[in-house]
A = this chain, B = another copy of it.
Amino acid sequence: MTSQTFAVPAGAVERTIAFLQSRYGDRVNVSRAVRDQHARGEGLDAHLPPDAVVWPLDKREVCEILAQCNAEGVPVIAYGVGSSVEGHVSAPHGGICMDCSRMDAVLAVHADDGDCVVQPGVTREALNAHLKGTGLFFPVDPGANASIGGMVSTRASGTTTVRYGSMAQNVLALEVALADGRLIRVGSRARKSAAGFDLVHLLTGAEGTLGVITEVTLKLHPLPPEVAAASCAFPTLADAVAAVTELSLSGVPLARIEFLDEHQVRACNLHSQLGLPEQPTLFLEFHGTEAAVREQTELAQEVAASHGGTGFQWSTRPEDRSALWRARHLAYYAALALRPGCQSVVADVCVPISALADCVARTRADIDREGLVAPILGHVGDGNYHVLFMPMPDAPAEHAAVERVYAAMVERALEAGGTCTGEHGIGLGKKAKLLAEAGPDVVALMRATKQVWDPKSILNPGKIF
């Protein structure tokens, strides 16, 4: 059941590929180029190609592929757009990559109920484009234009989570193909349920190790009548966090509260011509009625000023807001542009907000002491922060330094009562860190639970534990 003991029976892969080709023809691909495209996501540099890629068109095909792979003991890796960063889609034991990108239909939009039903390959941007004119939107925004199936599987969150929740709060029901090809449904279109074990949440964040998602019922939210975006610079992160804490406790429902350190602001200035002062900076967004947004921005400006905030600029004009958030979304690429040819290690931890300023300051000190290039940014309202490490490929000393700083980040997060990953998941990259956080008894329970759902361990083997 563990990655250490996993072995695919001899001839099983060949027989499975032959079966798939007989069924799906040119929707099966074994070329080097296509396998390489599916060998890794973003972030973690784990180039581990599958033996073949298949593009199912519907749930019936997903079930048929699983039944075949389960009978043969061949690994199956579900694939969305490959934007996850911890090696979730890599194939350490080979097998079949099931690329769900052609299962991209929005099956139903129930406007009065504020929900929709989609296939797993729909991306979040495509879903929001589809929702135009309904007065509703799907708020979870991890930056990348990820697929909904992938976002469910990594329990994704992002810039709007402080207001609208993560995937954990926005998945109502799932249809899932089990390892042996049976199809189950969990959850319902009701807003809440107390009907037995909460399998919707168990599957949300299971990283494709318990089943393959074939349909997702999502909560939608009313588009706010008014939106304002603001930016504000602070002398230190501690001042910015103090302002955010005061605002949060005042009950102001901030829709986004993003932190960029001075290095990240410089990168964004270079990349997106923002022209912001190169200081610790908050990007904020307010949603509500016109009166509510005005009240919120005024209060935010006042609170920010009382904590040393300067240059508070806000706008309700869509073009100004878009420029700000496009810059935020491009932060990753802006940072990478600081150092052409570099690799990237996107560190992700989440801590109680009272510990955030201290954790970030100590991490910054570690980075500077090691002489690394590494901007810091984060979702301050959630206590979630990222370091964008950018080691050069051929610099083992840099990689070792990154490992040291990252290990200290995680240790500090756990000491503060936090977690080793706020939103990126475990995948291949963080198995040791999960063990440190959860302990061997809890990881053993996860493994044993997986064993119940996937007795032959064909589903994304080698991930999480």
- Interface residues of chain A, those whose CB is within 8 Å of chain B, are 110-115, 135-136, 154-157, 161-162, 165-166, 168-169, 178, 182, 184-186, 188-199, 201-202, 204-206, 222-225, 245, 248-251, 253, 287-289, 291-292, 295, 350-354, 381-384, 413-414, 416-426, 430, 434, 437-439, 441-443, 445-446, 448-453, 464-465
Contact = CB atoms under 8 A, between A and B. Distances in A.
Contact of A421 (B169, B193, B443): B193
Contacts of A442: 184-186, 196, 199
B423 A192 contact: yes
Contacts of A245: 112
Nearest to A290: B295
B195 A420 contact: yes
Given A352-B113, A425-B194, A189 B438 contact: no
B186 A168 contact: no
5 contacts: A169-B169, A186-B442, A192-B384, A201-B201, A449-B449
A460 B452 CA distance: 21
A430 B416 CA distance: 42
A442 B210 CA distance: 13
A312 B261 CA distance: 50
Contacts of A434: 195-196
Contacts of A453: 445
Contact of A205 (B110, B162, B198): B198
A84 to B, nearest CB: 10
Given A184-B442, A417-B188, A424 B168 contact: no
A198 B434 CA distance: 12
B112 A190 contact: no
